[in-house]
Amino acid sequence: MSQNRKFEITDARGGAAFAVRVVTRAAASEIVGTLEDGPLKVLKIRLMASPAGDPAANDELLTLLAEKLQVDKSRIEIVAGAGSREKMISVEGITTAQVEKLLGGLQAAEE
């Protein structure tokens, strides 16, 4: 696995989209780093809530991302995978460059 591969963020209509993998029952909510998932890189996020598809966990995820990306929570949407630990996130009104800057320096996370 290449450790130099960038976290993949794509342009979405009016914003950016990226994949996340949620790990629940953590001591604290945090963005851990990136994971390779076949040809894609996904963002690994730990949440205190459980299980990953629970509405409380999804709300915690959106709150964490809004804080880290410095956008209103209403601009972030889980567009796929709301009921699972693997999700696709869309953020309205932000560019891929802004996401990379705000989440910059993410290292590869351990599975």
Q: What is the pLDDT of residues 71-109, one digit of tens each?
A: 999 999 999 999 999 999 999 988 888 888 887 666 555
pLDDT tens, residue by residue, 8-25: 656 555 788 889 999 999
Strand partners, 9: none
- 45 inside domain: yes
- 16 inside domain: yes
- 31 inside domain: yes
| 10: Cα within 13 Å, side-chain hemisphere | 11
- 63 inside domain: yes
Domain range enclosing 97? 10-102
- Which domain CATH number covers 82? 3.30.1200.10
Which candidate, 9, 16, 19, 8, places its Cα nearest to that of 92? Answer: 16
The count of structural domains within the chain is 1
Rounded distance between C-alpha atoms, residue 22 and residue 44, angstroms:
6
pLDDT tens, residue by residue, 35-47: 877 767 788 999 9
- 84 inside domain: yes
